[in-house]
Amino acid sequence: MAILPVIKLGHSSLRKRAEEITVFDDELRALADNMVETMRLNDGIGLAGPQVNILKRIFVIDLNVLDETQEAKAYINPEIVDSEGSEKMEEGCLSIPFVRADVSRPDVLTVRYQDLDGKDHEEKMDELLSRVFQHELDHLNGVMFIDHLSLIQRKLLEPKLKRIREENSLS
């Protein structure tokens, strides 16, 4: 397995829409394994393709830190079919280090995705899994959690965000 470099706010790939995946092969499985390894090394619980500069509609989630029976899972071409409720919770992001903020999101989702073999799945999820799914899906659409913040919240974080952008805009 290989550790992939995690790109940071300011890198143009984080603002692009990722492309659908149509080939389900060993290369895709290796990418998912590398993403899981990278996410774990960086103490994350989710990581999307664009965060490792791969503009493909894939992300991985690992809730093992909360429940040791959970295994890391790859979600290919994911989408939200339905959502309900609303919950505010603090979020952070490997691509925006040392920045955390409260974000409101639906708390119950019905989602569709494909697994690494291309098999279709539909699943209902809630709580942390629902939140991480939405956060990572945003990455596939060029959206970051800071985009969900109020103008006041963004203003308060702007000095940190500006520093991260400036350090990474050359990428």
Rounded CA-CA distance 126/130 in Å is 5
Token duo for residue 59: 């992300």
121 pairs with which residues across the strands?
A: 113
91 pairs with which residues across the strands?
A: 101
Spell out the residues 6+ positions from residue 159 whose beta carbon is closer than 8 angstroms to its own.
none
Query: Annotated catalytic residue: which of 136, 158, 166, 167?
Result: 136
What's the one-letter identity of residue 41? L
Token duo for residue 7: 């790109």
> In terms of DSSP bridges, do strands 58-61 and 73-84 run parallel, antiparallel, or are they unpaired?
antiparallel
Annotated catalytic residue 136: yes
129 pairs with which residues across the strands?
A: none
Measuring CA to CA, how many Å separate 162 from each of 17, 51, 69, 96, 167? 23, 18, 39, 11, 9
User: Active-site residues: which are they?
Assistant: 136
